[in-house]
Amino acid sequence: MAIVKMNRFSLLTFERNKQILLKTLQAFEQVHFKRLSPDDFEGMDVIRRNVENAAALENELSRVNYATDRLKPYAEIPKGIKAMLTPPQEMSFEELDRFASEYDAAAACESVRGCDERIKSIHAELSRVKTENDNLRLWAGFDAAPSELDKLKHVRYITGAVNKKTAPDFLVNLEAAFPSAYVETLHTVKDDTVFFVVAPADGWDALTAELKNMGFTRITLSFTGIPADKVRENEKRIATLALEAEAALEELKSHAPQYAMLLTAADHYRTALERAKACENFVNLSDVLIIEGWVPQEESPNLKKLLDTACPNEYYIEETAVEADSAEVPIALKNNRFARAFEDVTAMFAMPRYNEIDPTPLLAPFYILFFGLMVGDFGYGLVLLIATALLLKFAHLKKSMRRFMQFFFFLSFGVIFAGFLYGSFFGFALDIFKVATAPDGTAKAILSSDYDILVMLVMSVVIGVVQVFFGFGVKAYMAFRDGKPLEAFLDSILWIITLTCGLGMFSGAAPDVVPAIVFTISQYGFFGGLILLFLTQGRSSPSIGGKIGNGLMGVYGITGYIGDFISYSRLTAIALSGAYIASSFDMMAVMIPMPARIIFGTLIFLVGNLLNMGLGFLGAYVHGARLQFVEFFGKFYEGGGIPFKPFSPKNVFITLKETKTNHN
């Protein structure tokens, strides 16, 4: 349960060994590269950055992703619970490479792309023809071919539209002005009425001028033949295109069995792309490849064995232990199964620095307790326990999701424990939990929301005091560890004494319960502690004014700790809100008369409690983290470490088998 000790290494080998070396280190999954630059080597102009063409791999990966996206709707993919219960495909690193060399992913992608482009082309043509037909149907009453009308010598024609509100007046006025003209109403579209006008060629210019004055807008016909004939022709074309589209789709579906193989190929390209990108961290001196990075100390012998296999007698490696105050060393955490489930909480805040301690095992018990007290229902805890246990037992989860499920699995015990204390089972107060006696002599739960709200608030604050003081204790331990006993006393132990005495002064409010000597000692201890804090909190300032100012700020900081203690009252506030919401839903369900209660009452109970459970888990998760990050971490933990990101395969679909050189 600590921060993994690291060795920094410098590795020299020949450029010709790069690919086999990269594959070996990638399978090893225990190396974090340092990004080198030619500028790091002063006075050596011959140093150049190592490069590897990643564009080709990115292009291949893009083609495979395109193909899988198109095949996904037609592939037989397990979904829902079946997907979780289906074991993932397992391959070794070598098997993945061998698969990539034997499977022609490029040909499969080209076939899928060809089918897809043909389908898109057919659909585009279908859309065009259907749109053309929709427009032609408006002209169904036009039974003349424009190409034939254009051949007439003594008469001319024009089509156009006017506003449908003025259409009747348009007809009357046109017939009055040009009685020799023939006018036919074709159709009305939205706000316009379309007309067909035929008139003698003599006087045509006068006619068109008058039409313009009457608000007539000319429409140029997009067809040359009779519209009804073209519609029938297009309908045959649509039927043919539909058959072609169906055939192309069936051909595309025929490639669906290759979906899983293409996903595996995508993992291969992602892994190869990681190797290409890793080269950006290296530099070259002529044909010599220079690599620097970090490896866990316990894996250092394995690294050398791998190098002996990958490039025997053609490498030089130098390793040095990392100094405790190094700011660039990547941080990896090593915890037991219990604490490891809470590492993501630490990572959400910040990874520890190399000279700090890993706070994960310290926060885990507090987080379980806080989460449990805020949810506080035995039934909710059982649901969470059973659900996570079943998922962990039977579901095939990725590492990150499995750790997340383990996190909630451990939290469920806190919820069950608090549910027993509160006597709550899905909002109901069951007699089996009533193991204490109320002031009126009736049975009650150990902490009842009807009798013990004040006790619960005090308990929450006391828990907060314990965690804050524990944080000070951790800070004192770190100071002692680093050989700074005075700092441990002045910045941690003195605060514990002062705050304890300040809390002890409240004993004066109960002189019949607490001896007067406790109040007296607390007074002297508190004010004495304030004086010492004033004299010492500014000791690092070079000037007298700075010492006084920082001393005053240090003393004033005691108000912040009071706020920290009060902040823990949220443990009770959130628990009570959840309990009242659950009770309200239960009451609503019970109030429904029989027999409707069987259906509607059950529905209200289930939906209400599921909603309250989800909100309760979310609220407890967020506020539990907040108490760790602000009230607890603020006393001893700074963070800011760089996460250890081992050079490893980039597998999404498959699961890599554990090997002797794979320790993750």
Q: Which pLDDT value is given to residue 664?
A: 42
Q: Which pLDDT value is given to residue 663?
A: 44
Percent of the chain whose pLDDT exceeds 90 = 51
Averaged over 475-499, what is the pLDDT?
Answer: 90
What pLDDT band is residue 59 in, cutting at 50, 70 and 90?
very high
Cβ within 8 Å of residue 156, ≥6 positions away: 198, 199, 200, 201, 204
Dihedral, 118, 119, 125, 128 alpha carbons, nearest 10: -150
Q: Which pLDDT value is given to residue 1?
A: 59
Q: Which pLDDT value is given to residue 522?
A: 80
Q: Which pLDDT value is given to residue 117?
A: 94
* More confident of the two residues 421 and 46: 421
The most confident of the ranges 134-148, 291-305, 435-449 is 291-305
What pLDDT band is residue 450 in, cutting at 50, 70 and 90?
confident
What pLDDT band is residue 341 in, cutting at 50, 70 and 90?
very high
* pLDDT tens figures, 270-328: 999 999 999 999 999 889 999 999 999 999 999 999 999 999 999 999 999 888 888 89
Q: How far apart are CA 461 and CA 503, in angstroms?
A: 11
Q: Say if residue 513's pLDDT is above 70.
A: no
Averaged over 110-120, what is the pLDDT?
Answer: 94
**Residue 561 in contact with residue 468, Cβ under 8 Å?**
yes
Q: Which pLDDT value is given to residue 659?
A: 59
* Topology of domain 1-46+282-332+654-664, CATH: Alpha-Beta Plaits (3.30.70)
Q: Which pLDDT value is given to residue 303?
A: 94
Q: Which pLDDT value is given to residue 305?
A: 94
**DSSP state string for 540-569:** T-SSHHHHHHHHHHHHHTHHHHHHHHHHTT
Q: Say if residue 661's pLDDT is above 60.
A: no
Looking at domain 144-225, which of 3.30.70.2750, 3.90.420.10, 1.10.150.120, 3.30.390.10 is its CATH number?
Answer: 3.30.70.2750
Phi/psi for 286 (5° steps) reads 60, -120
The three state secondary structure string of 27-94 is: HHCCCEECCCCHHHCCCCCCEEECCCCCHHHHHHHHHHHHHHHHHHHHCCCCCHHHHHHCCCCEECHH
- Which helix or strand (DSSP H or E) is residue 126 part of? helix 105-137
Q: Which residue has the tokens 């029989």?
A: 594
Q: How far apart are CA 119 and CA 252, in angstroms?
A: 9
Lowest-pLDDT choice from 12-16, 136-140, 198-202, 490-494:
136-140
- Which helix or strand (DSSP H or E) is residue 187 part of? strand 182-189
Amino acid at 131: T
Chain-centroid distance of CA 329 in Å reads 27
Q: Say if residue 17's pLDDT is above 70.
A: yes
Q: Which pLDDT value is given to residue 563?
A: 87
Chain-centroid distance of CA 308 in Å reads 41
Q: Which pLDDT value is given to residue 510?
A: 56
Whether 1-46+282-332+654-664 shares its CATH topology with 144-225 is answered: yes
- Domain boundaries of the chain, sorted by first residue: 1-46+282-332+654-664, 50-126+236-281, 144-225, 356-451+570-637, 455-568
* pLDDT tens figures, 573-583: 999 999 899 88
* pLDDT tens figures, 229-252: 888 888 999 999 999 999 999 999
**Interior/surface letters 391-420, b for 16+ CB within 10 angstroms, e for the rest:** beeebeeeeeeebbbbbbbbbbbbbbbbbb
Lowest-pLDDT choice from 258-267, 417-426, 439-448:
439-448
**Residue 363 in contact with residue 410, Cβ under 8 Å?**
no
Q: Say if residue 414's pLDDT is above 90.
A: yes
Q: Helix, strand or coil for residue 525?
A: helix
Q: Helix, strand or coil for residue 315?
A: strand
Q: Which pLDDT value is given to residue 535?
A: 83
Could you tell me how many helices (H) and strands (E) the chain has, helices first?
Answer: 25, 20
User: How many other CB atoms are found less than 10 A from the CB of residue 265?
Assistant: 27
Asked if residue 168 has a cis previous peptide bond (ω within 30° of 0), the answer is no
